[in-house]
Amino acid sequence: MNLKRYRVNNIKEALKFIKRDLGSDAMIVSTRQVKENAGAFGLFGKTMLEVTASVSEKKKDNRSSVPATKVLEKYGGSSETSETVLADTFLTPRNKSVLSVRDETRKMMLPIQKELQGIRISLGDLSSQSDGLDKHLMGELKHELGEMRHMMHILATNTGNITDPDLPENLLLLYQQMKFSGMEERFSRRLVMEAQLNMTTEDIENFAYVKIFIARMLMKIIKITRGLEGLKSPQKIVALLGPTGVGKTTTLAKIASEQMLKYKRKVALISVDTNHSSAAEQIRSFAKKIKAPFSVVKYKDEMNRIIDSYESYDSIIIDTDGCSQRNEKQLYEMRDIFDERGRIHNALVLSATSKDSDMSEVTRKFGCMPIDSIIFTKLDESASYGSLFNHAIRFKKPLSYLTVGQKVPEDIEVASKERMVDLLLNISGT
């Protein structure tokens, strides 16, 4: 995908250059205000609008598009919101092609619906049999059912909201920017519609004001814990839960270092190791370096005894085995250890590089345990952050930490509302 950045006086000027350089299939990726020829400390420069646009090297489908200059025109009515929208859709087809797409998609969905019904019947028959049923076959059928549902969801998306809402240009630009960043269409639409109702016409014409207004709305959505400082108990005890590969062990080292270096607290480390993983040995080595006590446990009563023995320590950080959200046996074993509320703060660790649907599935499945906060890792490996807001809106869980690299202890920060909004809207311009 080719990217090109323009610094212009207004959006109409930007659209002129975008059409000339990138053609009528162009997509606006982001917009922000910048200082042109600024003096010392960025003062006294002329305020310009910076617009980043892109166009695909190759068209990946046959969807018809509208020239970029049409983005300022008012569309004739808006369609009902759908569950999601294709993230790369910036320009929309006309009503005639929309009806054609919907008819074709319905035809495609009919055989899938029949197959889904057959799988449901098979699952029902199997579940009514004796305890000796073939568990492998049951698992295969469940997986196939899940794949079918996912396919139907994608097809249903194509028949949903294909038309952008009828909005003033500044709101439309931010709406497109949020969608391009991975925020669900229904969430981004709701935000801009609500903003339009609460701003005057004069306010909406000021792009900087509109961007800050949307940012404030987003900040109301985000909940935070201020890291471990939000924990009410004098002794800070946190357990890091989550699937394999999300960076739990590295995150443990970062939090432990933060507690020791920044807050001058005595720290103890625990590893819940039921599968003889290598993570426990990594933590043991780290514990020796920072001269912190370390214990490996397998069962809840064993862990409780160890925690009691660490009563003189200010903070206790607990690492856990990586557990697939689809491994129900291991999940229930983990639940038996971390099912209590209050004493231990359960933080679910998620990777910012995960697919939106995978992130939601992990949170739902790990929800068999009390989840007190979310830690998002690998922000440095992701280019879009809309899924983080989708997650915050769906599950309403507070955020405790963000990690932005592998370095210990540098690459961790306490989650803040301002930081989260900046990731989505690029308020700071960095």
Confidence category of residue 77, pLDDT binned at 50, 70, 90: very low
What pLDDT was estimated at residue 430? 52
Q: Which residues pair with 64 in a beta bridge?
A: none
What pLDDT was estimated at residue 131? 44
Q: C-alpha distances in angstroms, 282 versus 164, 289, 319, 334?
A: 51, 11, 11, 21
Confidence category of residue 114, pLDDT binned at 50, 70, 90: low
Confidence category of residue 359, pLDDT binned at 50, 70, 90: very high
Angle between the N-to-C axes of helices 185-197 and 207-221, in degrees from 0 to 180, rounded to the nearest 10 = 120
Encode pLDDT of 168-178 as tens digits.
999 999 999 99
pLDDT average, residue stretch 243-251: 92
Encode pLDDT of 370-426 as tens digits.
999 999 999 999 988 999 999 999 999 999 999 998 888 889 999 999 999 999 998
Q: C-alpha distances in angstroms, 146 versus 123, 137, 184, 323, 356?
A: 12, 14, 21, 20, 16
Torsion of CA 87, 93, 99, 102, to 10 degrees: -20
pLDDT at 79 over 60: no
**Among 18-22, 55-59, 93-97, 414-418, the range of highest mean pLDDT:** 414-418
pLDDT at 163 over 80: no
Q: What percent of the chain lies above the pLDDT cut of 90?
A: 47
Q: What percent of the chain lies above the pLDDT cut of 70?
A: 70
What pLDDT was estimated at residue 54? 81
Q: C-alpha distances in angstroms, 176 versus 27, 183, 379?
A: 9, 10, 22
Mean pLDDT score of the chain:
77
Encode pLDDT of 293-350 as tens digits.
999 999 999 999 999 999 999 999 999 987 777 778 888 888 888 988 888 999 999 9
What pLDDT was estimated at residue 261? 93
What pLDDT was estimated at residue 279? 81
pLDDT average, residue stretch 112-138: 49
The CATH number given to 227-425 is: 3.40.50.300
Encode pLDDT of 175-234 as tens digits.
999 999 999 999 999 999 999 999 999 999 999 999 999 999 999 999 999 999 989 889
pLDDT average, residue stretch 127-136: 46
Secondary-structure percent of the chain, ordered helix, strand, coil, rounded to 5: 45, 15, 35
What pLDDT was estimated at residue 106? 54
pLDDT at 84 over 80: no
* Amino acid code (one letter) for 383: A
What pLDDT was estimated at residue 149? 52
What pLDDT was estimated at residue 293? 97
